[in-house]
Amino acid sequence: MHTSTVTVVVLDEPKARELVLDPRDLSEKFVRGSGAGGQHRNKTSTAVALTHAPSGITVRVDGGRSQALNRAAALDLLRAKLSAGAQRKDRREREATRRRLAGTGMRGDKIRTVQVRNDVVVDHVRGTRTSYKRYARGFLEDLGS
């Protein structure tokens, strides 16, 4: 006799979100870059440090010679970090929902037993039973569905 357990959980597809930053949530600071670069690097504040107040995430970009280019790169980096954090949060919520719906997968979580050989289907939640032949033909109302 072969026995097996199947757990089926149907979840909604995750939605892709556009990340929009409110300029009021950003704090930017222009500072001097570090490292080699000579007089220009030592005398101009082209490096950008952006802080997103709600999350507390700070990024610093000082790769280019232009304040505008560094600011754009810092905004892109900040969006990427915030997006990654949102994806992690969504994944955790999705996994928690799946665990809640699926249970442990143990015998105590079973809802329905289908015994083809004995021609019986038992609904453990409602305490009803029907023949496998009627169940296979789609007569689920026998189980109280």
Q: What is the pLDDT of residues 94-139, one digit of tens each?
A: 888 888 877 776 767 778 888 888 999 999 888 899 999 999 999 8
Residue 58 lies in a domain: yes
Share of the chain above pLDDT 70, in %: 78
137 close to 121: Cβ distance less than 8 angstroms: no
The count of structural domains within the chain is 2
Looking at the structure, tell me whether residues 89 and 117 fall in a common domain: no
Confidence (pTM) = 0.55
Q: Which long-range contacts (CB under 8 A, 24 or more apart) does 52-55 make?
A: 52/21, 52/25, 52/26, 52/78, 52/82, 53/25, 53/26, 53/27, 54/25, 55/82, 55/85
Q: What is the CATH number of the domain that holds 35?
A: 3.30.160.20
Looking at the structure, tell me whether residues 28 and 95 fall in a common domain: yes
Looking at the structure, tell me whether residues 112 and 97 fall in a common domain: no
Looking at the structure, tell me whether residues 94 and 139 fall in a common domain: no
> Can you give the C-alpha Rg of the chain in angstroms?
29
Residue 6 lies in a domain: no
Q: Is 54 exposed, middle or buried (0-12, 13-18, 19+ CB in 10 A)?
A: exposed
Percent helix, strand, coil in the chain, to 5, is 40, 20, 40
Residue range of the domain that includes 47: 23-102
Looking at the structure, tell me whether residues 29 and 45 fall in a common domain: yes
Residue 93 lies in a domain: yes
Looking at the structure, tell me whether residues 37 and 75 fall in a common domain: yes
6 close to 102: Cβ distance less than 8 angstroms: no
